[in-house]
């Protein structure tokens, strides 16, 4: 059941003070326990959707916030309400947090009414009121090593830092302001979610209304003052003034040092406009760091779930790593098919050696058995099952180009969102392992064309024809050439129109002359009399700094893993979290929550958690115990259940997983008007200062 035996674990525990957390995370959420997760109990007390859940650090109290404008503190193990807080909120509560270092005495809440309240739980008093956001506040985040501080993000495009030790009027400061910078499209400037890296709390991740996850180093950022809404006027408010960036660097920081890194699935940046034309919105609904602070999980609304390795900035989108870098001059030779080559002498020594080295790709019996099962599923057109078998086989044989090539073919057949790009990555991997892998080379060209990267597809196919001239005469190859040439002709006319409109400024790159003349070591001189950083820079420096920013954004870090099967379209507060060291969990629009194996990316368990939508999935900090909530007013608790005599109501395991995931893919690509009913209930505009009373606003679509 465990990865190591108990004696080894005890030995490491004595040597490493942090090993207990690793040991605990691995064993408590072991595969054995996760596979036996099932319904445990319900917590009833709310009268509306439960939009947020939060465990205290000890795991003894569960806090919940709801559309009924109440916060309830629970003892979930005894299914008992400990305290009910009647808040001053006038809109749905979206965030609730225990403030660290206060022994669970202080907690904060945020809501659709744009307000944040801080409570003394023991005295049942509201001790601070924060009215600094201009639109709905979506999330609150804390850092365990930063007592009395917390952060909030809102649909006004602000990320604020709050210090409860200060006077209420001075407690809040602007850390990031996306509404004031032209580098973020105004349509994407709403701050949907944020997360603090608990292992290194100087790093803060933010998700907006686009597919980019942004991680900032807070140590480089200057806090800017902000006043409460009541004291702000249209003329005096400094928040509407345009600035060069969404942040302001500290005075001693080199202005050419960009304090953030972008993370995005490599196929999405160039397809944002295409998604908009299809009326499909891509926005990050939740971000989460793993306990070690080395990975970031992003739940991408309208698409899939993605995992990023924070310390692998070399993982650039494959689009920009030209396939030609895989080969050197010795590879630019003709490779004859085996049927026309009876001896190895007709093949250059280097290629002959590579072919002979295929012995090292021999699969273990278990991996070979999985490959055969995958091949059989592929023949039956059961692509979902085939991919799962290939995932398991690759985990056992990570150096097998055949497995990567076969999985690429299966992904291309399944063709879910992101599958073609994932297939292209597999083709790259297969060619890195074996440059003579013909099928991967041809599939790479097809993937590039399907991704609408037609010029690279044409070059790739020409290179393929040079290396495999006999195979290049096949009907499939000729058909692909025709498709690419037709697409190139059409895209050439389209590019001419786009250049005239200057519509692609976001992805402008730095020219060679500008790059050569730019000295990053020189800091532009600042005018001390100027109050704003951007105003102190010359127009030329502004242009250079902007291009540095955009260049770094264009070189965003690509994902390391993706998890498919759930549906994230209807609400923009849908969570995804790490479950121990080896599992990932997320809610879904079909009323279920999914659990994936982090290594294979396969679905391990699907549980029916809500009659409509599961938004919140919060694992217990120390036990194999999960709390979920959504549109229903009940909170449901889940734990390993080894009792086979469950009633139909208690047994909430989804057995037909294949049908569930296929239906979810259909939903994700349906017309957004099918979800219009979720927005019709949102009849309150919190930008109206005169709005009052208890008005419940349903969780709106992303």
Residues 67-111 have pLDDT tens digits of 999 999 999 999 999 999 999 999 999 999 999 999 999 999 999
Angle at 43 between CA 37 and CA 45, to 5 degrees: 160
Shared domain check, 666 and 642: yes
For 307-310, which contacts have Cβ atoms below 8 Å and span 24 or more sequence positions? 307/559, 307/560, 307/561, 307/562, 307/563, 307/584, 307/598, 308/213, 308/263, 308/557, 308/558, 308/559, 308/560, 309/557, 309/560, 310/215
**One-character DSSP codes across 83-131:** EEEE---SS-EEEEEEPTTSTT-EEEEEETTS-EEEEETTTTEEEEEE-
Shared domain check, 587 and 453: no
Q: Which residues of 250-276 are buried (b: 16+ CB within 10 A; e: fewer)?
A: eeebebbebbbbbbbbbbbbebbeebe
Asked whether residue 382 is domain-assigned, the answer is yes
**Hey, CA dihedral for 224, 227, 232, 236, is it positive or negative?**
negative
For residue 406, the domain's CATH number is 1.25.40.10
Shared domain check, 492 and 550: no
Asked whether residue 413 is domain-assigned, the answer is yes
Shared domain check, 335 and 291: no
Lookup: tokens for 682 = 């949102």
Asked whether residue 521 is domain-assigned, the answer is no
Asked whether residue 345 is domain-assigned, the answer is yes
424 phi-psi bin (left φ>0, alpha ψ -120 to 50, beta other): alpha
Shared domain check, 376 and 280: no
What does the alpha-carbon distance between residue 272 and residue 278 come to, in Å, rounded to a whole number?
Answer: 10
Per-residue pLDDT at 23: 57
For residue 310, the domain's CATH number is 2.130.10.10
What does the alpha-carbon distance between residue 340 and residue 382 come to, in Å, rounded to a whole number?
Answer: 35
The CA distances from residue 404 to 434, 531, 536, in Å, are 11, 56, 53
Radius of gyration of the chain (CA): 27
CB 327 within 8 A of CB 434: no
Shared domain check, 301 and 421: no
Asked whether residue 695 is domain-assigned, the answer is no
Cβ neighbourhood burial of 621 (10 Å; 0-12, 13-18, 19+): middle
Tell me phi and psi for residue 524, to 5 degrees.
-60, 140
CB 635 within 8 A of CB 628: yes
**Structural domain range at position 439:** 323-499
- How many helices and strands (H and E) does the chain possess? 16, 29
Shared domain check, 272 and 368: no
Shared domain check, 495 and 508: no
CB 383 within 8 A of CB 410: yes
Asked whether residue 172 is domain-assigned, the answer is yes
CB 252 within 8 A of CB 221: no
Q: How many domains does the chain have?
A: 3
Asked whether residue 304 is domain-assigned, the answer is yes
What is the model's pTM?
A: 0.86
Asked whether residue 638 is domain-assigned, the answer is yes
Shared domain check, 238 and 114: yes
**Hey, CA dihedral for 9, 625, 292, 266, is it positive or negative?**
positive
Reduced to 3 states (helix: H, G, I; strand: E, B; else coil), residue 295 is: strand
- Alpha helix segments (H runs only) across 236-363: 272-277, 349-356
Residues of the chain with pLDDT under 50: 1-4, 233-239, 320-321, 338-357, 499-537, 676-698, 700-702
Shared domain check, 267 and 342: no
Shared domain check, 306 and 351: no
Shared domain check, 359 and 472: yes
CA 496 to centroid of chain Cα atoms: 34
Of 630, 650, 620, the closest CA to residue 588 belongs to 630
């Amino acid at each position: 059941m465990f990865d190591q035996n108990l004696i080894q674990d005890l030995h490491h525990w004595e040597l490493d003070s942090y090993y207990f957390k690793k040991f605990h995370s691995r064993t408590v959420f072991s595969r054995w326990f996760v596979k036996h997760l099932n319904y445990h109990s319900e917590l009833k007390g709310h009268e509306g959707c439960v939009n947020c859940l939060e465990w205290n650090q000890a795991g003894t109290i569960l806090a919940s916030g709801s559309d009924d404008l109440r916060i309830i503190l629970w003892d979930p193990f005894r299914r008992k309400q400990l305290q009910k807080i009647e808040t001053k909120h006038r809109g749905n509560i979206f965030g609730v947090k225990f403030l660290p270092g206060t022994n669970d005495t202080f907690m904060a809440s945020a809501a659709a009414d744009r307000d944040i309240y801080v409570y003394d739980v023991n005295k049942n008093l509201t001790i601070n009121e924060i009215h600094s956001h201009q639109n709905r506040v979506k999330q609150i985040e804390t850092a365990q090593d930063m007592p009395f501080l917390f952060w909030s993000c809102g649909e006004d495009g602000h990320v604020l830092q709050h210090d409860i030790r200060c006077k209420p009027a001075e407690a809040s400061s602007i850390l990031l302001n996306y509404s004031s910078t032209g580098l973020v499209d105004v349509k994407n400037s709403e701050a949907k979610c944020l997360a603090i890296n608990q292992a290194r709390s100087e790093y803060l991740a933010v998700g907006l209304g686009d597919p980019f996850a942004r991680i900032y180093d807070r140590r480089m950022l200057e806090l800017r003052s902000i006043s409460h809404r009541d004291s702000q006027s249209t003329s005096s408010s400094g928040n509407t003034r345009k600035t060069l960036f969404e942040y302001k660097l500290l005075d001693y920081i080199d202005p050419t040092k960009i304090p953030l890194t972008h993370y995005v699935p490599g196929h999405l940046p160039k397809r944002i406009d295409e998604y908009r034309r299809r009326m499909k919105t891509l926005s990050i609904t939740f971000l989460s760091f793993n306990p070690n602070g080395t990975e970031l999980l992003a739940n991408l609304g309208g698409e899939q779930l993605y995992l990023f390795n924070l310390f692998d900035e070399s993982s650039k989108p494959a689009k920009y790593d030209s396939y030609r870098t895989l080969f050197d001059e010795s590879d630019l030779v003709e490779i004859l098919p085996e049927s026309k080559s009876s001896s190895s002498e007709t093949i250059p020594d280097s290629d002959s050696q590579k072919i002979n080295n295929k012995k090292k790709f021999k699969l273990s019996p278990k991996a070979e058995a999985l490959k055969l099962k995958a091949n059989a599923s592929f023949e039956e057109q059961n692509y979902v099952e085939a991919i799962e078998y290939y995932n398991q086989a690759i985990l056992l044989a990570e150096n097998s180009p055949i497995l990567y090539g076969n999985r690429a073919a299966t992904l291309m057949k399944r063709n879910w969102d992101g599958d073609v790009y994932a297939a292209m990555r597999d083709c790259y991997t297969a060619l890195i392992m074996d440059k003579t892998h013909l099928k991967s080379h041809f599939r790479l060209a097809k993937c590039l064309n399907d991704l609408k990267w037609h010029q690279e597809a044409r070059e790739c196919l020409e290179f393929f024809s040079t290396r495999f001239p006999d195979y290049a005469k096949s009907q499939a190859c000729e058909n692909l050439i025709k498709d690419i040439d037709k697409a190139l002709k059409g895209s050439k006319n389209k590019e001419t129109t786009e250049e005239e409109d200057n519509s692609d400024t976001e992805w402008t790159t730095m020219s060679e002359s500008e790059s050569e003349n730019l000295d990053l070591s020189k800091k532009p001189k600042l005018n001390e009399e100027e109050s704003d950083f951007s105003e102190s820079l010359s127009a030329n420096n502004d242009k250079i700094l902007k291009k540095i920013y955009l260049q770094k954004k264009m070189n965003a870090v690509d994902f390391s893993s993706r998890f498919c099967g759930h549906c994230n379209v209807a609400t923009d507060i849908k969570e995804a979290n790490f479950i121990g060291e080896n599992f990932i969990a997320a809610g879904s629009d079909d009323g279920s929550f999914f659990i994936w194996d982090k290594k294979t990316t396969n679905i391990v368990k699907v549980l029916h958690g809500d009659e409509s939508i599961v938004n919140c999935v919060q694992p217990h900090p120390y036990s194999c115990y999960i709390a979920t909530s959504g549109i229903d007013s009940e909170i449901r608790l889940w734990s390993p259940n080894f009792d086979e005599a469950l009633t139909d109501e208690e047994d909430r395991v989804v057995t037909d997983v294949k049908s569930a995931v296929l239906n979810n893919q259909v939903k994700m690509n349906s017309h957004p008007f099918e979800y219009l009913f979720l927005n019709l209930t949102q009849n309150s505009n919190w930008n109206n200062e005169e709005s009052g009373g208890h008005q419940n606003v349903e969780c709106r679509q992303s």
